[in-house]
Amino acid sequence: MSRRVGVLALAAAALGAVLLGVPGEAEPTGGTVVLTDKGAVRGSDRAGYREFLGVPFAAPPVGHLRWRSPVPRAPWAGIRDATTPGSWCAQHASSTGTPPSLDEDCLYLNVTVPDSAKPTRPKPVMVWLHGGGFIEGSGSEYDPRRMAVQGDVVVVTVNYRLGVFGNFGHPDLPGSGAFGLEDQQAALRWVRRNANAFGGDAGNVTLFGQSAGGQSVCAQLAAPGAAGLFHRAAVQSAFCTKDIPANLIAPGLPSVPPWEKLAAVTDRARRTAVELGCADPADAPACLRRLPAERLMPVFTRFAGLSYGGRTLPENPYEMLKTGRTHQVPVLSGATRDEVTYMQALNDLAGRPLTAERYREYLRAAFGTHADAVAARYPLRDGEPPSRTWATVATDDGEPPSRTWVTVATDSGLACPTFDRNRLSARHVPTYAFEFADRTAPPSLPDVGYPYDAYHSAETFYLFDIRTGNAPPALNAEQRRLGDAMIASWTAFAHTGDPGWPRVHPDKPYTQSLAPGPGGIGPVDFATSHQCGFWSSTPVF
């Protein structure tokens, strides 16, 4: 009791110093009240850790601050409650059961701190960027307590603006196309200022993310404004290099580059402004800012990707990677064994499973004159007689065309581009490659009749507990052990820059397989299993 009272007194005194403008660095309190650079926050004591939820890292980007770079939050008096998450950034409801949001006041982060018996030195800080295709998700969706406690690290999960609010562009909007990326940098600057107060080391920050969060990490590796804000980077299941094949993400979606030119975004923005009743170019930004959030939601997903050519991301990150001009930090990088089962299953569940003819149409749309070569390499294969939900569209040989397309799209769109990215990265910085390969991973979507295997996003359930949406899939004892091993590797990387397996070398591209059971963790011939030789010799993009 006396210790807690002393902590509160220290926090109150330090807060007074901040409000009076007295210089000095806040010390970590070790309790549920921590002094940040803007004021004190009270979190929650848990078994073995403390968490601080809904901590603001920038001013609410509302009203005249919509589509502006994030600005500092004003200091607050007293002790701010940090026991519940902040609002999710504006987004539609998702297939995983998360609700819609119209809230633009969403620039909050969450800090999880392990209770070490003797915290003799600051802990590494790991900053997580959530996935969701830049149109959904939240930092508070991910509960990192296992990672924090088992790995003895401070974990920060971050919100950033999404869709039209995060990636909109207009010639009269400074920072166009990259407001979400700027939010991430603002969160990293908050970490630099406040890590010490939570027992973290501002000089040892790992930025990591999955899917859109992983692509964000690729962007920050190339962004001038992110220089010095993180010291290691981990990229999970991200489009960062070559074009995304047609139909991979959704039926009818043409082949698209992972990095769009800003000029194309601003072009689309002009047309969107006219559609929304803001046709006067001189008044368009102000007119658009006057619109309520619900008026913008019908065009929300038109701005669902990252662009380059502006001040935040001046150059294409892939070109910078190829020439070794990204930030020189160690990189952990990988993908899942069967990435596209998740995306294709969403299409099948929506009543659009592939027929054999549509499979051939997909190949033609994605690979043009090379479609026959791809079809010969990835034929509709023999298998057991069809059953369950895909029986009506399975080929006579047994395997559903949807599942064959999954293999094509995984290898060409994610696996081999990841292999290529890892080899390029290894020319310049220590690089460690992995493949999450638990083909018994419990699915997060309903049964579609073919196995999900090691699907896109499956590895996140092994690293985090999930707080929101549909009930998260339960891991068995063997999978829990795999999760513990992965957490040990991810946090070892945060501590030392080495996850515990051999580095990638351009002429010896080692990849660590991560699967449960005896022999599940070890080297894998990634290039052979995903036919990367074929894809590198066939100019399909």
What is the chain's pLDDT, residue by residue, as a tens digit (541 residues)?
A: 333 333 333 333 333 333 333 333 344 445 799 999 999 999 999 999 999 999 999 999 999 999 999 999 999 999 999 999 999 999 999 877 788 999 999 999 999 999 975 567 899 999 999 999 999 999 999 999 999 999 999 999 999 999 999 999 988 898 999 999 999 999 999 999 999 999 999 999 999 999 999 999 999 999 999 999 999 999 999 999 988 988 888 888 888 899 999 999 999 999 999 999 999 988 999 999 999 999 999 999 999 999 999 999 999 999 999 999 999 999 999 999 999 999 999 989 887 778 999 999 999 999 999 999 999 999 997 543 333 333 334 444 457 999 999 999 999 999 999 999 999 999 999 999 999 999 999 998 899 989 999 999 999 999 999 987 667 789 999 999 999 999 999 999 999 999 999 999 988 899 999 999 999 999 999 999 999 999 988 765 4
Q: What pLDDT was estimated at residue 350?
A: 86
Q: Which two tokens stand for residue 498?
A: 């080495």
Q: What pLDDT was estimated at residue 339?
A: 97
Please, are residues 435 and 510 in contact by the beta-carbon 8 Å criterion? no
Strand ranges of the sheet holding 108-114, from the earlier edge strand across to the other edge: 44-46, 49-56, 108-114, 154-158, 123-129, 200-210, 232-236, 331-336, 431-436, 511-514, 521-523
Q: What pLDDT was estimated at residue 198?
A: 96
Please, are residues 450 and 402 in contact by the beta-carbon 8 Å criterion? yes
Query: pTM of the predicted model, to two decimals?
Result: 0.91
Q: Is 211 a catalytic residue?
A: yes
Q: Is 104 a catalytic residue?
A: no
Q: Is 537 a catalytic residue?
A: no
The maximal CA–CA distance of the chain, rounded, in angstroms, is 78
Which residue shows structure tokens 């007119």?
287
Name the active-site residue from 456, 459, 489, 530: 456
Name the active-site residue from 140, 176, 211, 513: 211
CA-to-CA separations, 98 to 131, 469, 501, in angstroms, rounded: 13, 4, 36
Instruction: Return the C-alpha torsion angle 346, 351, 357, 361, nearest 10.
Output: -50
Angle at 112 between CA 106 and CA 118, to 5 degrees: 155
Q: Domains of the chain (ranges plus CATH)? A: 42-58+82-91+125-240+257-308 (3.40.50.1820), 331-352+413-537 (no CATH)
Please, are residues 195 and 206 in contact by the beta-carbon 8 Å criterion? no
Name the active-site residue from 104, 141, 339, 399: 339
Q: What pLDDT was estimated at residue 228?
A: 98
Phi-psi group of 60: left, alpha or beta (phi > 0 → left; psi -120 to 50 → alpha; rest → beta): beta
- Within 8 A by CB and 6+ apart from 205, the residues are 124, 125, 126, 127, 188, 191, 192, 195, 229, 230, 231, 232
Q: What pLDDT was estimated at residue 250?
A: 80
